[in-house]
Structure 1
Amino acid sequence: MKLKICGMKHLDNILEVGALLPDYMGFIFWEKSARYFDGTIPELIKTIKKTGVFVDETVENIMSKIDKYHLQTVQLHGKESVAFCQELKAKIDGRIDINTEIIKVFSVDESFDFSVLEPYEKVCHYFLFDTKGKLPGGNGTTFNWKILENYKSEKPLFLSGGIGIEEIPMIKDLKIPIYAIDVNSKFEIEPGLKNTSLLKKFQKKLKPATLNPKQLYNEL
């Protein structure tokens, strides 16, 4: 299960969190967010995928941010249509110098209709489910994960929405495969500033260290 740490903002904190080697690091390019990012992204380990989070942005502006920050992933957190995703994907696919993947976000509540996902299958690489609330994201609450039992797509799934250390047992009890966990506000000292000690604790509980054969023998 991969880990995405989103809402990064401060240079030193980005480096501290980067040292934890998350799989994805998210930068929010929605100006209304308290975690809006307009700074400089330092050099990170290549295994960390820099992810730009956008809300109903234009294709041109997204492409501009991809070029400026060398984004490996784009997260669409608004009401982007299938046609919009298709246009963006075509722009990305038409470039030989980038290989950026697309995550399409869906805000979920008890009445979510999973059939809306089908038209997006061919125009994005991942789906992300977040809690439906007043804001496009960052509402800091979980939704009823039981409805994920209705998820039939083979697209890799990101799970988001108010996830903290307390949610780990429930994550491990889920009956469907989760590709990545997306965390943000539950690990903040203030908006955009992450508590690295708490993140490290979460990471350890989420991803127990893999034992090599010798260690496994000693354990037995």
Structure 2
Amino acid sequence: MKLKICGMKYPDNILEVGALLPDYMGFIFWEKSARYFDGIIPELPKSIQKVGVFVNATVEEILEKIEKHDLQAVQLHGAESVAFCEKLKKSIPNRIEIIKVFSILDTFDFTILKPFESVCDFFLFDTKGKLPGGNGTTFDWKVLENYPSTKPFFLSGGIGIEEIKKLVETLQCNVSTNCNVSIKKLPIYAIDVNSKFEIEPGLKNVQLCRDVALQRLK
């Protein structure tokens, strides 16, 4: 299970968290976010994939950020359509991953996912709230038991240390034991953490990030 630490903002903090070698680090290019990133990403270990997070940006704006920051992935956190994702996919190099975000509260209509399967590499499920992301609340993972696709996805939305422990225990448990087999069978590719690992918006608690980096390796 891979780890994405999102909402990075401050250069020194970025380097400290980068030293923990998460698989992905997310940088938010939405100006209304308290975690809006408008600097230069410091040099990170090559194993870390840099993700640009966008909310209803234009293809041209996304391409500009890809070029400026040498991004390896693009996360679409707005109301981007299938047609938009298709246009973006044709415009960016093949090596760059597209992650399409869908927000969940108590229920979710999974039928809307099907058209997106061919135009993105991953889905990301976050908690529906006032903001596009970083609301600090977790949705009921039982909703995902109805997930109909084999497309791997990122699990996000108010995930803290305790939620990660439960998820790791579920993924590692034996089917004969008392565990959530339905969740275990889901194609969870990575966990995405943000607000539960912060001192303030954009400033990550390095010790907590170290704890989650160790937890997912158990």
TM-score with structure 2 setting the length:
0.91
Amino acid at match of 1:113: D
Distance 1:13 1:78 in 2: 27
Which residue number in structure 2 is paired with residue 26 of structure 1? 26
Cα shift readout 1:70-121 (whole Å, capped 9, x = no counterpart): 000000000000000000001014xxxx721100000012221011000000
Which residue number in structure 2 is paired with residue 207 of structure 1? 217
**Alignment RMSD, CA only?**
1.0
Which residue number in structure 2 is paired with residue 36 of structure 1? 36
**Counterpart selection for 1:108 from 104, 129, 134:** 104
Aligned length: 204
Distance 1:206 1:44 in 2: 21
Judge conservation of contact 2:165–2:215 (CA < 8 Å) in 1: no
Distance 1:46 1:130 in 2: 27
Amino acid at match of 2:3: L
Which residue number in structure 1 is paired with residue 187 of structure 2? 177
Q: Where do 1:85-164 residues align within 5 Å? A: 85-93=85-93, 99-164=95-160
Q: Secondary structure at the match of 2:137?
A: coil
Which residue number in structure 2 is paired with residue 2 of structure 1? 2
Distance 1:106 1:71 in 2: 21
Which residue number in structure 1 is paired with residue 53 of structure 2? 53
Which residue number in structure 2 is paired with residue 214 of structure 1? none
Distance 2:74 2:187 in 1: 22
Matched, 1:187 2:197: yes
Cα shift readout 1:1-54 (whole Å, capped 9, x = no counterpart): 000000000000000000000000000000000000000101111110000000
Q: Mean alpha-carbon deviation: is it higher for 169-178 or for 23-32? A: 169-178
Q: Secondary structure at the match of 1:63?
A: helix
Report the Cα offset of residue 204 of structure 1.
1.2
Q: Secondary structure at the match of 1:179?
A: strand
Matched, 1:12 2:12: yes
TM superposition outliers: structure 1 runs of 4+ over 6 Å = none
Which residue number in structure 2 is paired with residue 196 of structure 1? 206
Distance 2:154 2:2 in 1: 9
Q: Secondary structure at the match of 1:202?
A: helix
Q: Secondary structure at the match of 1:106?
A: strand
- Structure 1: any 5+ residue segments left out of the alignment? 209-220
Which residue number in structure 1 is paired with residue 177 of structure 2? none
Report the Cα offset of residue 201 of structure 1.
1.0
Amino acid at match of 2:208: L
> How high is the sequence identity, in percent, across the aligned residues?
71
Distance 2:101 2:41 in 1: 23
Report the Cα offset of residue 168 of structure 1.
2.1
TM-score with structure 1 setting the length:
0.90
Distance 1:207 1:153 in 2: 26
Distance 1:73 1:122 in 2: 16
- Structure number with greater CO (CA < 8 Å, separation at least 6) is 2
Cα shift readout 1:108-159 (whole Å, capped 9, x = no counterpart): 1222101100000000000000001111111100000011111121111100
Amino acid at match of 2:56: D
